[in-house]
Amino acid sequence: MEFSYGATPEEAATWRCSKVEELGGPIGDVASHCLYVAEFLFDSPVTELACVYYPKLMKITAEDGAYLKFTLANGLSGSVRVAFSEPRGGLQSTLDNLGYEIFDTQGVMRGHGTLFQLSGYPDEPVPVRLEVDRFTERYDVQVDHLVNLYQQVIRHHAQSIIDGKPLTGRDGLHNLELIAAAHESAQNGGRPVII
């Protein structure tokens, strides 16, 4: 999730760019999403995290960007690149870039436009899509039903209250622990942090 944000005085003044204590910046604003999506996709929590900041070139208080390496409890590992300092050529290319790649020995699956507020509705600027590349052939996977992730989270929370089993907030706390661990690692030369 690398894009341009904070280049104008109005953007630079927002919490994402100016209030480090509120855990904004690319790590708090978007790396957090990348990490919980990885945990969801592989049904395993992050147990170790290492991070380094990108070169500081922007006039914002928060970090310009970061590279994170993580390990899940099931032994899988991955990486996350996030930045506010990376123009992508316009809205469509920026939104298409907000996705993920899952690699194995047989191929790669790429999610395009999948880590943002897009839900696959026809009026959105880019289509949400999944692509499989088997190195000799490439094709899109047809997804029958897309949902708005934010609406789904709200419904899940409301249903927990209706069922008399309100959420504890543990997932949110874990996500904040990952953000804090990323900053701790980056401030210590990229030393891995055990979660």
Q: How many CB atoms lie within 10 A of CB 76?
A: 13
| Whole-model pTM over 0.85 | yes
Q: In a structure prediction context, what are the per-residue pLDDT tens digits for the chain, which is 195 residues long?
A: 999 999 999 999 999 999 888 888 999 999 999 999 999 999 999 999 999 999 999 999 999 999 999 999 999 999 999 999 999 888 888 888 888 999 999 999 999 888 877 777 788 888 888 999 999 999 999 888 877 777 888 999 999 999 999 999 999 999 999 999 999 999 999 999 999
Structure tokens at 14: 């927002």
User: Are the C-beta atoms of 106 and 25 separated by less than 8 Å?
Assistant: no
Query: How many Å from the N-terminal Cα to the C-terminal Cα in the chain?
Result: 23
SS (H, E, C) the chain: CECECCCCHHHHCCHHHHCHHHCCHHHHHHHHHHHHHHHHHHCCCEEEEEEEECCCCCCCCCCCEEEEEEEECCCCEEEEEEECECCCCCHHHHHHHCCEEEEECCEEEEEECCCCCCCCCCCCCCCCEEEEECCCCEEEECCCCCCCHHHHHHHHHHHHHHCCCCCCCHHHHHHHHHHHHHHHHHCCCCCCEEC
Q: Which residue segments constitute the domains of the chain, with CATH numbers given?
A: 9-194 (3.30.360.10)
